[in-house]
Each structure stands twice: as C-alpha cells, then as structure tokens.
Amino acid sequence: NDLFKVKVVTEEGVELESCEMSFDDEVCDMLLYPIVLNKGDDIFINISAPQSSNIVSTLTHVSGQMQTLYLALGENVIKAPQTPGIYIVNTRFPNGETKSIKFMVK
C-alpha cells in the first residue's frame, strides 16, 4: 500500500515531482486449455488475481456473437459452444490489465 513518486532536480535547481501511485503486487493472469476441442467438451479457465477480485469475461465468436462469463479465482470449467468456429475469451482484471485467449471448436 506504499505510494511512490519520482523527484527530479534540474541543473538550474528546479525540483519536479510526478504524481503519487501505488503498484499492485499480485499478478493477474488467465490460462485456458485445451485450445482445440470438440462441441460440448470441457474448457478449463484458470484465473489468478487478487483475492478481492470479481472477474467478468466475454466469450466472443468470430461472427460477433457474445456471451458474458462470470469467473471465480482458481479453476473454472465451462462447456464448449455447440457451434464450431474460433472463439475468444476476453478478460479485464480489476487492475486494468486485459487478456484475450483464442480457442477453436471443431
């Protein structure tokens, strides 16, 4: 919870400071597997984020169809769509990071 800033002193003696900011010490990440699967197979999505996080993702087909996914921390299991094609899971984490992973349904 520390706040950090940068302070610079020019050759003329003028002091310049940046705005204060903090850094989140926990990494947010998403792992999805398998990336090639059959209709109705299980898809495993593993979410790593700070404990207080609520993760909302979208499952998007290349045709533009979109579905909201509510994911918990740790391993989530969802069923693969019944329509073959390329899909993208887009996730925006509370710290502002985003991650997108593609998978294919045969």
User: Does the pLDDT at position 95 exceed 90?
Assistant: no
DSSP, collapsed to helix, strand or coil, labels residue 83 as coil
pLDDT tens for residues 75-92?
999 999 999 999 999 998
DSSP, collapsed to helix, strand or coil, labels residue 40 as coil
Q: What are the distances in angstroms from CA 93 to CA 8, 26, 44, 53, 74?
A: 33, 11, 18, 8, 14
User: Does the pLDDT at position 53 exceed 70?
Assistant: no
23 vs 38, more confident: 38
User: Does the pLDDT at position 25 exceed 70?
Assistant: no
**Alpha-carbon span 64 to 82, nearest angstrom:** 16
Quote the pTM value. 0.71
Q: What pLDDT is recorded for position 35?
A: 95
Q: What is the mean pLDDT of the chain?
A: 89
Of the candidates 37, 85, 90, the one whose C-alpha atom is nearest the C-alpha of residue 61 is 85
